[in-house]
Structure 1
Amino acid sequence: MRKLFACAAIAALAACSQPAPEPAAEETTAAAPEPATDAGAPVPGDYTVTYEDGTATPFTVNADGTWSGTNPAGEASKGTYTFADGKTCFTSDPPNENDTCWTASPAAADGTFSSVSDKGVTVSVKPAAAQAGETAAE
């Protein structure tokens, strides 16, 4: 069901987190380390989630633990998400039978990644910034 799209989008976002850059050679090791972040945790922003059949839907992940999206039928959805044990779990508002957890693959250089739900659905997720770069390059 396409209401699951919102959940898929969030899971996809999980793969968008990037590792911290390597410190420059001149930096000293005496500096306090950066706080650790959860690898694979959702990165706030706007995304396009594409299903195996080619259907694409917009999705937004917010820093406050909420998400929103619109499916191809024009139906808006929203809810909350949590990240634990390498999975992003999305809960709709109100909760429904499509709520599930997603495991994201490592992101490509442009931030695009795939995500698989606990129900076996696979999606491709692309950040809006990558899409903007494609438009500018055309």
Structure 2
Amino acid sequence: MKKLFVITSVAMLAACGSPEAEEETVAVAEVEAPSEAMSLHETTWTFVMDDKEIMESIDASGNYIANAGDEHFDHGTYVLVDGKQCFTSAMNDEGQMCWTTPANIEVGESVDITSDGDEKLNITRADYKPLTM
């Protein structure tokens, strides 16, 4: 719906202004267009990190828990920032770590993702399963 509003607004402004004004309006509209990245709220993922098989779940509020079998591995908060999946661990002071992911990942699908720090990780989406520490 937001895209339709932005496109309609751009078209209306383009009809009224000079070519220079149209170019500026289009540039602003592109910056303001919403991200196509999927939200990870209420999703579960599996991956290998630090030689451990991890299961991580993100709840509806953006809190995540990651466990390696029966062992607690990590927990913290998740947000979508500028189309990137960003996690802030409550267990260290390294700050926010963001990952670039495909626009949509189906349950059972595995993909390679890359962090802003150029760390690579292969993740698999699983059926949502809330975790506890």
Give the TM-score of the pair, scaled to structure 2.
0.55
SS at match of 1:97: coil
Shift of 1:113: 2.3
Q: How many residues align?
A: 94
1:111 is aligned to: 109
Distance 1:70 1:105, change over 3 A: same
1:68 aligns with one of 55, 65, 68: 65
Give the TM-score of the pair, scaled to structure 1.
0.53
1:91 is aligned to: 88
Identity of paired residues, percent?
24
Counterpart mapping for 1:1-138 below 5 A:
38-51=36-49, 55-71=52-68, 74-97=71-94, 99-106=96-103, 107=105, 110-129=108-127
Shift of 1:103: 0.7
The 2-side partners of 1:95 and 1:62 are apart by 20
SS at match of 2:71: coil
Q: Is contact 2:52-2:68 (8 Å) kept?
A: no
Between structures 1 and 2, the one with greater strand share:
2
Gap regions ≥5 residues in structure 2: 1-33, 128-133
The 2-side partners of 1:108 and 1:69 are apart by 20
Gap regions ≥5 residues in structure 1: 1-35, 130-138
Shift of 1:78: 0.9
Shift of 1:102: 0.7
Which has the bigger relative contact order, CA under 8 A and spacing at least 6? 1
> Which of the two has higher C-alpha Rg?
2
Q: Is contact 2:37-2:84 (8 Å) kept?
A: no
Q: Is contact 1:41-1:86 (8 Å) kept?
A: no
1:133 is aligned to: none
1:72-127 per-residue CA deviation (whole Å, 9 max, x = no partner) reads 79343211111121111111114422641111135368433222111111111112
